[in-house]
Chains A and B, each alone.
Chain A
Amino acid sequence: MALILLTICLSETVPDAEGKPHALFAGLQIGGDGAARLEHIGFFGFMFQSLLMVQIVLLSILGVAERYRTNKFLIYMVSALAFMLLIGWQMFSAHLEYLSSNETGYFLGFPNATAWATYGTWLSAIPLVLIYSLGFRKFIYTKEDEKKFNELLAEKASRQE
């Protein structure tokens, strides 16, 4: 990801890639030519976004003790990652589609690409939330873990006496 960031910073720039002031209204910014803004870095941007999602799932796996990283758990996590990547791709491709056609449908108040970004991104982590909450006693903090921790506390208490 650091390399992608470096590549983006060294890529050919386009005018107003980070927006410009609105011609009529002070305080408003506009994005302008969307296709031009993505011309040199669109692919790298999407790669960065995808790798960020991979990193999020890998970090979540790191938070689970090694002995609980069973095949079943890893299947859940890979499925969660696939769901996140699918939503990311739907958003990115819907954006590209709009840029080429200038037409869009709407979903719950937003243009399709933005609906994917807004509702989709929010929902994309729900599988992780479910794995954590519903799998808490299987993967995160089992009865056995609780017993081990209570033993640690008991040892500490006996040392202090």
Chain B
Amino acid sequence: MEEYRQEIIIGAVIVYMVFCVLTGLWAMRRTHSASDFFIAGRGLGPIVVSLAIFSSTLSGFGFVGGPGLVYSIGVSSFWMVVISSIGYAVCFFLVAKRIRMIAELRDCISLPDIVAARYGSEAVRFMIAVTIVLGVMGYLATQILAMALVMQAILSGTEMFADVGLITCVAISSAVLIFYCVTGGIIASVYTDVVQGTIMIVAGFLILVTAANVFDGGMQEATSIILSDDAETIMPYGAAGIMASLGWFFVFGLGLAGQPHIITKLMMNKNISDNRSMLPLSLFGYAMAALLWISIGIVMRAAVLDGVIEPLALPDDAASVFLSVFTNPFLAGIVFAGLFAAIMSTSDAFLNIGTAALIHDIPKAIKGQSVENELFWARIVTVLLAVLSAGFALYSHFQDATLVAILGAFGWGTFAASIFPVVAVGLNWKGASAAGAVTAIASALLINFVSQLAGYTFPYGVSGQLVAFVSSMVLFIGVSLITRKPVLEPDINRVLDI
């Protein structure tokens, strides 16, 4: 069986991609309007939405970058994962009910629609839409590049495709992604998310079992090896130290409620009362899938320190080397399919919100109305956005890596800093004003951009993202308090009372 390892892995990935294409074709029949395309007509059940929420949360970064971070800096990066229970809880307490109510009451199809309704301000809509477009470009480019690099790594292990180029891999992986997103919109995305989420849960559990058996003494032997080399790495704050870890606690814990691709999903469930089961279901799924993040990183670091395997060329190789050295081919096939699932489930969510921002929100903020025939333009812009991001990813890879890095800064941390106060706090505090919202978004973008461009670092590993988040919260509350108390529209006022 070992001699067919590459063929088994490629087979698993092909089966998965064929499934995505078929789902796109099936979902196309159910997509009749822009509302269907962007928010599935608010008709999804709790299990579907829950799996979509958690699989969108765990991107390719969780499968590739996550284990690499644990390998490199130890327990520090656990703080991006173990706070997920807190993150989901805060997200549901603050956002889930009211975003769903406003979506139905005002027929909102995007997050900027929600904030425009809440603040009665096109300026806030515009700022949120621009933030989303900037973030989406960076995120999508990195996801497409990651997908292509993994595909190239898999194919290059075979004789037939040994010389396959990166551009070909970008074309193949983007084509599948574009096909099901264009044909089936968000309906295709969430139903592929169901399978993607299931694959990730299975992969996470099986990897944990495999990782626990790499050393005779199980995980305890692995952590003991790390402890004897450098105790701080395996202590609670890891090699990066206390403030880097707590920064991630803050940005990833609270910031989950500010991620547009996640909270947009909270507008899609059929019944508001589904929220009660969606919270534990999303959390369970994420916890299971994230086992992979932690267990691979720990075992790979211990294996290198103990001389079981050679040091890795790059920390991001941790997952792929683990799969090729320690797992049987079938498990490797499932996990590689899971990796594509993680990347695609996040990418399709970003394509969806980015398209909505471009054809619906920015025109509405500028001209007072969105484009005519939204469904048609949604499909066109989805293709253009994906092609642009793919081109951007390739340009960055071959010419100038700083571009994606800069827009990459407009990722999780910027979304958290700019959207959390405006949405999560603003939906629960009548005193929040449009001026406060605009100030918070502008400061978050500015601090993140400047700290990224200038390469400025704060002492003790305090991150620019944490400074941006704390600053935007302080400014949001402060400016709202000193500006005139906003007059809410009657229906929004009543929603905020419920």
Contacts and interface: CB of A to CB of B under 8 A. Distances in A.
B199 to A, nearest CB: 22
Contacts of A29: 72-74, 233, 239-240
A147 to B, nearest CB: 10
A122 B231 contact: no
Interface residues of B, number: 90
Contacts of B301: 28
Contacts of B82: 117-118, 121-122
By secondary structure, the A interface counts as helix
Nearest to A38: B242
Interface string B486-498: 0000010011011
A26 B311 contact: yes
Interface in B211-256: 212, 218-220, 222-224, 227, 229-244, 246, 249-250, 253-254
B168 interface: no
A41 to B, nearest CB: 6
B283 interface: yes
Interface string A122-149: 1111101100110011001100011011
Contacts of B497: 65
Contacts, number: 246
B241 A133 contact: no
Contacts of B461: 17-19
A62 B497 CA distance: 12
B101 interface: yes
A13 B461 CA distance: 11
A156 B85 contact: no
A140 B280 CA distance: 15
B149 to A, nearest CB: 17
B474 interface: yes
B235 A129 contact: no
Given A31-B238, A59-B93, A132-B92, A17 B279 contact: no
A39 B175 CA distance: 54
A17 B236 CA distance: 15
A118 B239 CA distance: 15
A122 B291 CA distance: 12
A77 B240 CA distance: 32
A91 B75 CA distance: 13
Contact of B467 (A5, A62, A95): A5
Contact of A9 (B233, B311, B459): B459
Instruction: Kindly name the residue among A17, A62, A121 whose own CB sees the greatest number of chain B CB atoms within 10 A.
Output: A121
Contacts of A9: 458-460, 462
B466 interface: yes
Most buried by B among A18, A56, A102, A128: A18
Interface in B451-496: 458-462, 466-467, 470-471, 474, 491, 494-495
Interface of B: 71-76, 78-79, 82-86, 88-90, 92-95, 97, 101, 104-105, 212, 218-220, 222-224, 227, 229-244, 246, 249-250, 253-254, 272-273, 275-277, 279-280, 283, 287, 294, 301, 304-305, 311-315, 424-425, 428-429, 458-462, 466-467, 470-471, 474, 491, 494-495, 497-498
Interface of A: 1-2, 5, 8-9, 11, 13, 17-19, 22, 25-34, 37-38, 41-42, 45, 48-49, 52, 55-56, 59-60, 62-65, 91-92, 94-95, 98, 102, 104, 106, 108-111, 113-114, 116-118, 121-126, 128-129, 132-133, 136-137, 140-141, 145-146, 148-149, 152-153, 155-156
30 contacts: A5-B462, A5-B470, A9-B458, A17-B459, A18-B241, A18-B243, A27-B71, A31-B235, A32-B230, A38-B242, A48-B243, A62-B429, A63-B94, A63-B428, A65-B497, A109-B218, A110-B219, A110-B223, A114-B75, A117-B78, A118-B82, A122-B84, A125-B89, A129-B85, A132-B93, A133-B280, A137-B276, A141-B273, A146-B272, A149-B498
